[in-house]
Structure 1
Amino acid sequence: MNADLFDDRRCSLGEGPLWHPERGQLFWFDILAGRLLTRTGDGPAAWDFDQMVSACGWVDHDHLLVASETRLFLFNLVSGAEERVCDLEGDNALTRSNDGRADPYGGFWIGTMGKKGEDHAGAIYRFYRGELRRLYDRISISNAICFAPDGRHAYFTDTRTQRLMRVALDGEGWPAAEADCFIDFRADDLDPDGAVVDAVGNLWVAQWGASRVAVYGPDGDFLFAEAFGAPHLTCPAFGGRDGQTLYVTSARCELDEAGIAQHPLAGSVFQRDVTLKGQREHKVQL
């Protein structure tokens, strides 16, 4: 058994890991299967939906705000009931949700993208106090939505550009300036996927195709990387009792038979104890 393995269910496109701080429980998605997964002391569990689902934020002990192809909805973890919150490109059959995360102000940022990865088909939005507002358009693959511990900056990427962007935020968490390039991966031909910021401001960036989560300091300088047993790592999250367990989702899609044979754990969720501590995941304020 691989010491880094947290859950061996092979997702086609594992994404959106969230450590629920009140439940002490990790949730994540298999986007292409329309499935939300978790694991408790009783073992694995999952919920299936009629659309692709990709990301969530916690609202209270028993509810998540979930992003799907067409909407944001409140999901009851006990009853399985769904309650629509607002449309999310519900009139656009070409797109789906992708990466998302709650911000320090109680808002929820969510990106969309083309279901076939069409150029510039997606956007990045923020849901805050009942309003869904588009922040950026012409996004091809929305990813790496995360926030500095002091709430003064947000980060995001369009993976296809190979650049991770940073934007200053105002006192309510809205962008207060133009976004600028914080880390440029083009010289190393690296594709940034999901990302999270730890408690001291380091960015932990999953790099699609590179089998690693790379760590960059608050100044953007490369510090080190954590390697895992799958080429397509999609998103990291901090959790565990002390916030020092790193969880990483991964994908099997875009691997041929030889690739799957070489990386049999692709699609699993990995875990590793690390010396740095993550931020507590922020609560979504509806």
Structure 2
Amino acid sequence: MTETIPFAGSVLCDEALMLGEGPTYDPATDTAWWFDIKGQALHELQLETGRKAVHALPFLGSVLAVIDPTRQLIASDQGLFIRETASGRLSLFATLEAIPTNRSNDGRVHPSGCLWISTMARDESAGAGAFYHVDGTTVTRLYSGISIPNSICFSPDGTTAYFTDTAVNHLMRVSVDPATGLPTGDPVAISDENTTPGWVDGSVCDADGLIWNARYGSGAVDVYKPDGAKVARYAVPATQTTCPAFIGRAADRLLVTSAFQNMSNAARTADPNAGKTFELGVPIRGRFEPAFRL
């Protein structure tokens, strides 16, 4: 069993979120972005100045991708929207699926500029969700029958995608075309994560190809090799860790979101940092997320 390395980081934002998720970073403005999905809010933190803003959303947003200096793409339960960064104005870009009981969940931009995005039932009903590939306004369903889609990330050269159904708790790998981000083979399980407490949640892949995964229910970030071997575990002072993102001018810091959803008052008292956003506090060779290509 991998030894847990004690938390050496800090609280980056002490506002507790019901479902903190979907963090990303814009190096052009040195700004971190993340969501409270169930709180219908987009959080913005300018790292150098510490300026924080919270933007109310008219939907359940879960993923943000930079398009250019003035626009962002947001995935939500109502589809994909273009957001004007300065004004917050939203315009529908593409629809994902006409299932009102579903919402968007995990997603990430492939190095080609295309988006992998996922959906799931609002009440987490088994098998209701799917993974999608978005190329401009062309939406292609990749895998269906998914309960809680998570862990979407890509190798630095764009030839491999990783993902999971958290309800199954296997970390999956599939070969993809580096020019399009579309699968070229069948997914294979590289790690069965049912032997220890917690669940595979959001992930990001660093410059060396290591996978950094938020371990929901265990208060940790796990690090895997591309073959699925677990090489490190870092403690996070919130049990329900949800998703990491590389931040900072050199992409050498790791932001980690968390959640307090489904926790009783007693559980929240025992877990006072639940829902807060953290910096892990370890040296990392990260990389910046690609822009979404219209």
> Residue in 2 aligned with 1:175?
183
> Residue in 1 aligned with 2:160?
153
> Residue in 2 aligned with 1:129?
136
CA shift digits 1:89-137 (9 cap, x unpaired): 2x21110000011110000111100000000000010111321111110
Whichever residue aligns with residue 42 of structure 2, its letter is: L
Q: Is the Cα contact below 8 Å between 1:199 and 1:278 reproduced in 2?
A: yes
Q: Is the Cα contact below 8 Å between 1:163 and 1:185 reproduced in 2?
A: yes
Instruction: Measure, in 2, the Cα distance between the counterparts of 1:235 and 1:197.
Output: 12
CA shift digits 1:70-90 (9 cap, x unpaired): 21010011011111111122x
Q: Does 1:38 align with 2:44?
A: yes
Q: Does 1:24 align with 2:40?
A: no
SS in 1 for 2:204: strand
Instruction: Measure, in 1, the Cα distance between the counterparts of 2:195 and 2:27.
Output: 38
CA shift digits 1:206-225 (9 cap, x unpaired): 11100000001122211111
> Residue in 2 aligned with 1:163?
170
Write the mapping of 1:215-254 to structure 2, written as runs, cut at 5 A: 215-254=223-262
Instruction: Measure, in 1, the Cα distance between the counterparts of 2:24 and 2:59.
Output: 19
Q: Is the Cα contact below 8 Å between 2:151 and 2:164 reproduced in 1?
A: yes
Q: Is the Cα contact below 8 Å between 2:17 and 2:276 reproduced in 1?
A: yes
Q: CA deviation at 1:200?
A: 0.1
Greater shift, 218-227 or 155-164, is seen at: 218-227
Q: CA deviation at 1:270?
A: 0.2
Q: Which runs of 5+ in 2 are unaligned?
A: 1-7
Q: CA deviation at 1:189?
A: 4.3
Instruction: Measure, in 2, the Cα distance between the counterparts of 1:21 and 1:181.
Output: 33
Instruction: Measure, in 1, the Cα distance between the counterparts of 2:122 and 2:206.
Output: 31
Whichever residue aligns with residue 126 of structure 1, its letter is: H
Write the mapping of 1:63-74 to structure 2, written as runs, cut at 5 A: 63-74=71-82
SS in 1 for 2:38: helix
Aligned residues: 284
Whichever residue aligns with residue 88 of structure 1, its letter is: L
Q: CA deviation at 1:42?
A: 5.7
Instruction: Measure, in 2, the Cα distance between the counterparts of 1:120 and 1:218.
Output: 27
Write the mapping of 1:189-200 to structure 2, written as runs, cut at 5 A: 189-200=197-208
SS in 1 for 2:195: helix
Aligned residues: CA RMSD: 1.3
Write the mapping of 1:194-209 to structure 2, written as runs, cut at 5 A: 194-209=202-217
Q: Which TM-score applies when normalising by structure 2?
A: 0.94
Q: Which TM-score applies when normalising by structure 1?
A: 0.96
Instruction: Measure, in 2, the Cα distance between the counterparts of 1:82 and 1:50.
Output: 10
Q: Is the Cα contact below 8 Å between 2:73 and 2:292 reproduced in 1?
A: yes
SS in 2 for 1:93: coil
Instruction: Measure, in 2, the Cα distance between the counterparts of 1:11 and 1:260.
Output: 12
